[in-house]
Amino acid sequence: MTRANDYNSVMARRGEIMKKSVGIDYSKFESGSIAFDYERMMRETGYSLEEIQKIQRSVHVGDTPIIELRNLTALARKYAKPGYGARIFIKDEACNPSGSFKARRAANSVYHAKKLGFKGVVTATSGNYGAAVASQAAMAGLKCIVVQECYDSKGVGQPEIVEKARKSEALGAEVVQLSVGPELFYKFLLLLEETGYFNASLYTPFGIAGVETLGYEISMQFREKFNKDPDAVVVTNAGGGNLTGTARGLIKAGASTRVIGASVDLTGLHMASDTMFNRKSFTTGHTGFGVPFSVWPDRSDVPRSAARPLRYMDRYVTVTQGSVFYMTEALASLEGLEKGPAGNTSLAAAFALAQEMKEDEFIVVQETEYTGAGKHVQAQLSFAKKNGIEVFFGDPKDEVPGKNIVLPSDPSLIKVKDMDLDSMRRSLIRTAINTYKVTPTEEDIKFLAEETRTSVEFVKEAISQLSSL
């Protein structure tokens, strides 16, 4: 019997499609309520750290260098009080085959797909992950389809997304480009069902476990070179997988390094809005993804996301678009390194954070990405101006997302703004209660304490506040 392929029919089958295309029975880990066994899911469906390292090295992924940014460190110290200004380092993930850390996720996902006998892989992403999956699929001899949310309703695509499509196609993928809106997930599900390919989701245990090697390597490299772990690692935060995987790798190394998430502040811009789609100059690493995915991870394309950043975040800060553009240029002109915008988001944050830390401390930006024509500052700023965004030098605190981009008139103006983690934790608890519509059990409360990295008392207080509303 022919199945109906209209939107509502396909969405009604999403659980069945997901289970078949990922090969995970998520119900095994669920309690029937809010709680599920996250660690068991990671343990039973993932691979050991040693297995992942072997997989990645076989396809030229990982073991990327640590680079000290001496000139940017000196600049940060110019604005720090005496004795302050931590040494700034980057983990150069642009050295991976596809040019970003996402090769780590893709290597593991594609390996698993081939192991299970799938003939191809499908991924829904407007970012570097598409190129990473395409690269790994080419090495494995598998077909690859990348589904992109690329255009607004007028058919205008952002330069950065168009560049990533070019990269994915160059690496052998078929790229399906769509306009902003709910059709992305619908088309993704339809392709999975029609092709029978593997869902190379960003949010499976295979993908997140692939990033654990990144955190582990950072610790091992710093111990070997400096006989200590870095004091802080800054991670650009979007869907949460980068931060989750890196933090889990640091934990497996026994490191006590602080994990700081960083996102571009795009407050007020709705990511699913057609009119706002091209009024932002960053396609990832911004609050439009970082905040909603932190406070409710299970909004992703799998039933239970393996990316759960609030479990691991010590601090969460934002920077402005103009600050990231400025730091991108500073990295090139002062350090001779051209890198793409995602890693430079955490670099802008690290530049400000280093000034809070002592001179003998280390702060590391845990990833860089390749750059290309569409990712360059000039392309992004030109596109912004065409869309009516005012661009000028001044104080970044005056930046209003969707209206202007303020390039710092002086490096001292590059600052971070702290997110209220307790507020985000309460938001996660509230969403969980409202989503499952149950009276939380003791198991649920314990789970929510782990989810929010708080205590049973914190969760109970948050629940009591909800009851009083």
- pLDDT one-digit tens code per residue, 230-256: 999 999 999 999 999 999 999 999 999
Angle subtended at Cα 425 by Cα 421 and Cα 426, rounded to the nearest 5 degrees: 120
Is the pLDDT score of 404 beyond 70? yes
Residues 66-88: what's their mean pLDDT?
98
- Considering only residues 90 and 302, tell me which one the structure prediction assigns the higher pLDDT: 90
What confidence score (pLDDT) does residue 274 get? Answer: 83
Record the pTM: 0.96
3-state SS of the chain is: CCCCCCHHHHHHCHHHHHHHHHCCCHHHHECCCCCECHHHHHHHHCCCHHHHHHHHHHCCCCCCCEEECHHHHHHHHHHCCCCECCEEEEECHHHCCCCCCHHHHHHHHHHHHHHCCCCEEEEECCCHHHHHHHHHHHHHCCEEEEEEEEECCCCCECHHHHHHHHHHHHCCCEEEEEECCCHHHHHHHHHHHHHCCEECCCCCHHHHHHHHHHHHHHHHHHHHHHCCCCCEEEEECCCCHHHHHHHHHHHHCCCCCEEEEEEECCCCCCCCCCCCHHHCCCCCCEHHHHHHHHHCHHHCCCCCCCCCHHHCCCEEEEECHHHHHHHHHHHHHHHCCCCCHHHHHHHHHHHHHHCCCECCCEEEECCCCCCCHHHCHHHHHHHHHHCCCEEEEECHHHCCCCCEEEEECCHHHCCCEECCHHHHHHHHHHHHHHHHCCCCCHHHHHHHHHHHCCCHHHHHHHHHHHHCC
Tell me the CB-side half-sphere exposure of residue 438, using CA atoms within 13 A.
13
For residue 117, how many other CB atoms are within 10 A of its CB? 8
Band (1; pLDDT cuts 50, 70, 90):
low
Return the closest-CA partner of residue 231 out of 260, 258, 261.
258
Tell me the CB-side half-sphere exposure of residue 460, using CA atoms within 13 A.
7
Provide, rounded to the nearest whole percent, the portion of the chain with pLDDT above 70.
99
User: Long-range CB contacts (< 8 A, 24+ apart) of 420-426?
Assistant: 421/310, 421/313, 421/315, 421/316, 424/291, 424/294, 424/295, 424/310, 424/316, 425/310, 425/452, 425/453, 425/454, 425/458, 425/462, 426/462, 426/465
What confidence score (pLDDT) does residue 468 get? Answer: 66
What confidence score (pLDDT) does residue 149 get? Answer: 87
What confidence score (pLDDT) does residue 180 get? Answer: 82
- pLDDT one-digit tens code per residue, 306-338: 999 999 999 999 999 999 999 999 999 999 999
- pLDDT one-digit tens code per residue, 90-140: 999 999 999 999 999 999 999 999 999 999 999 988 889 999 999 999 999
What confidence score (pLDDT) does residue 150 get? Answer: 87
Angle subtended at Cα 84 by Cα 81 and Cα 87, rounded to the nearest 5 degrees: 140
What confidence score (pLDDT) does residue 408 get? Answer: 98
Is the pLDDT score of 467 beyond 80? no
Residues 6+ apart with CB under 8 A from 435: 296
**Any idea which residue has 């050991």 for tokens?**
48
What confidence score (pLDDT) does residue 245 get? Answer: 97
Task: Kindly report the average pLDDT of the chain as a whole number.
Answer: 94
Most confident of 147-151, 173-177, 271-275: 173-177
What confidence score (pLDDT) does residue 459 get? Answer: 97
User: Using CA atoms, how far apart are residues 130 and 175, in angstroms rounded to an integer?
Assistant: 9
User: Using CA atoms, how far apart are residues 367 and 401, in angstroms rounded to an integer?
Assistant: 25
Band (426; pLDDT cuts 50, 70, 90):
very high
Largest CA distance in the chain: 75
Provide, rounded to the nearest whole percent, the portion of the chain with pLDDT above 90.
79
- pLDDT one-digit tens code per residue, 344-392: 999 999 999 999 999 999 999 999 999 988 899 999 999 999 999 999 9
Locate 75 and state its tokens: 């600049």
Band (153; pLDDT cuts 50, 70, 90):
confident
User: Using CA atoms, how far apart are residues 305 and 18, in angstroms rounded to an integer?
Assistant: 12
Q: Which of 23-32, 191-200, 415-424 has the lowest mean pLDDT?
A: 23-32
Is the pLDDT score of 14 beyond 90? no
User: Using CA atoms, how far apart are residues 189 and 207, in angstroms rounded to an integer?
Assistant: 19
Contact 427, 295 (CB under 8 A): yes
Which residue type, as a one-letter code, is found at position 411? P
Band (276; pLDDT cuts 50, 70, 90):
confident
- pLDDT one-digit tens code per residue, 166-207: 999 999 999 999 888 778 888 999 999 999 999 998 899 989
User: Using CA atoms, how far apart are residues 18 and 26, in angstroms rounded to an integer?
Assistant: 10
Residues 386-407: what's their mean pLDDT?
96
